[in-house]
Amino acid sequence: MAEFSFFSISSFPLPLPCSPTPPPAIPCDGDLLRSLLRLAREISLFEAPCPLLRRLFTSLTRKSKILCILFEELLHDQTGNAGELPRSASLCLREILVVLQRFKGLLGDCSARSRMRLILQIDSLGNDFHELTLDLSTLLDILPLPELRLSDDVRDLVDLLRRQCRRSNPAVDPTDDALRCEILSMIREIEQEVVPDLSRLTAIFEKVGIDGTRSCRNEIECLEREIGDRVSEKWTAAMIALVGVVRYAKCVLYGASTPTSDSSTGKFSFAELDPLVPPDFRCPISLELMRDPVIVASGQTYDRDSITRWIGAGHATCPKSGQLLSHTNLVPNRALKNLISAWCREQNVPFDGFDSNKGEPTSATCANKAALEAARMTATFLVNKLDSSPSTEMANRVVHELRLLAKTGSDNRAFVAEAGAIPLLLPFLSSEDPRLQLNAVTALLNLSILESNKKRIMHAEGGLDALIHVLAGGATWWAKENAAATLLSLSSIHAYRRRLGRNQRVVTELVALARKGPASTKKDALAAILSLAGDRENIAHLVEGGVVESALEALSSMEVAEEAVAVLAALAKRGGASAVIDAEGSIPKLVGVMRRGSDWSKENAAAALVLLCRREGSAAVSELARMPGIEWVIWELTGSGTVRGRRKAASLGRIYRRWLAAVEEADRMVRFSPASISTSTTTAQS
């Protein structure tokens, strides 16, 4: 046994008086005993978080109760006699304090771990308890009991505690080891597409101590957090598989959970009880939290995986602004990634961001066969449950579970759609139950992110009509904006964009949403309109539907000005310039955005004005020239705007200066024309 630190304390010289930092004050014996007593009492109150730890926790709490008796006796004696403990006893008790602190930390760590991880690591956990127990045993052996004034009863208890500590055994309980083998065997069977037997699944979950939907939810969240924190590389694959197994068991054993009121109103929350993801942290394409944000040539930020697939599909434009990309280089947005990572740490959200120095990002879930098969089984079970014509309340629970399942991961979205969920979800868009309607439209939105599911939705009988119904008469604004977001997602396919743009009902309802409702609803409506404006053949339908007027109205709101000015720029670029210039107040409002808007708004406002001046000529330039302070506005954007904004401002400045030069030249020609000169001479003679 290695020599303990308290043997060597006296062998080191004390700090010299000239030391810059004085040594920390050593607590007196009374404070030491009070700390020991408090710590032992805290340990004795710990309860096992699950049945499989009951033996370890019970053994330790019994030992800590005996220690409480010892410390109480010593404290009473020390207080009554106003004396100090022998030095050897004091040093030994200080080391016992360290061991108890480590015990408390271990107990707290066990209480915070997922139960599945506890059973996977039960052998290492038992070894940790064993090592600390041996340390305590050694310290009790060298505790100088003869020098302490203790009653015979307390001495007997300390002797009993010594013997108990000596009998500590690191071996894993055979029952716990059998349970771990059973769980790992079930994972291997799921990998081979064998559906777990319900009675077997029930028995495993009872032994682990998971007994309802709430405990399943807590277990899933805890496992996902531990996977994100990479707490155990050895068991990571099994933990990923167990997330899928617990989710499947939650639905099969305990039924679909009842959605909370908060979870029904949030738009893209990570989980029922998790905070809303900040909009700036979501990828505009996938609507998910960005793991590796990158900047494209237009200055917009997307998740690397989403924009790579967009460009790989043959698109040459920015999905959000519609601007033609001058190149396809992707620049990492490290500042935003750091902000996302910090937010994830604060909210306990797993974050496995991409690191260019470490190669490709890990995709353990995608490569985990058991996790994929468990997700497929869950999707199949839920869709079959929904197909059995349940009551409205039960349907709401099942649809909510499908919504959560389709919220993350392309594989999950594929499994849900392949199981036949989309035709079953569409009728619920007309439900009179606001919660069911919202859950159904949000589930469709989540499913639509996967490209193959867009075809399923667009070709489903009554699919588009059902979405239009929610746009026009949704029970809540959240349902309406999620319907608009679904149309935005569907319009990323060129053929569907044209089909949606030709549907006058779609345009009419999107315009109506852009004119009324909360800012978030207007944002989604304008974003969908912007996507439709990416096709030149849609411009006439959009202009006829009143898009220009609604976008100009939206410019007055700073919350949606970015989307509104992008719509006007897209219209002007693809054949709608005359409609924009004919709308009352279009030039002054665009100049106002250049003065007070965000960087992106200023950039698009300048781009729109350049297009209007080039395509409408003097009618647009003359109105621009009449705006007070326009030279200063152009000059300021040229010096402080984005790269594209400075370029567009420079183009606008050149157009403006050429127009001024042409006007001055025309005036000079008029003043010095022969007719003008003869008129001036006649006037002078008279």
Kindly report, residue by residue over 161-180, the tens digit of the pLDDT: 988 888 888 877 788 888 88
Residue 398 confidence (pLDDT)? 92
Residue 3 confidence (pLDDT)? 38
Residue 6 confidence (pLDDT)? 37
pLDDT higher than 60, residue 453: yes
Instruction: Give the pLDDT mean for 31-37.
Output: 89
Residue 80 confidence (pLDDT)? 56
What residues have CB less than 8 Å from 633, skipping those under 6 apart?
A: 591, 594, 595, 627
Q: What are the beta bridge partners of residue 303?
A: 293
For β-strands 331-332 and 301-303, DSSP reports them as unpaired
Who has greater pLDDT, 638 or 264? 638
31, 34, 40, 45: CA torsion to nearest 10: -130
Kindly report, residue by residue over 503-547, the tens digit of the pLDDT: 999 999 999 999 888 888 888 899 899 999 988 999 999 999 999
pLDDT higher than 80, residue 370: yes
Kindly report, residue by residue over 219-240, the tens digit of the pLDDT: 888 888 888 778 888 888 899 9
Enter the CATH code of domain 279-347: 3.30.40.10
Give the tokens for residue 34: 């009070």
- Give residue limits of the domains in the chain: 29-172, 175-254, 279-347, 506-581, 585-669
pLDDT higher than 90, residue 437: yes
Residue 267 confidence (pLDDT)? 43
Kindly report, residue by residue over 376-406, the tens digit of the pLDDT: 999 999 999 998 877 888 899 999 999 989 9
Nearest to 120 by CA among 241, 248, 216: 241
Tell me how far apart the alpha carbons of residues 370 and 376 are, in angstroms, rounded to a whole number.
10
Residue 673 confidence (pLDDT)? 60
**Radius of gyration of the chain measured on its C-alpha atoms:** 36
DSSP SS3 for 471:
helix
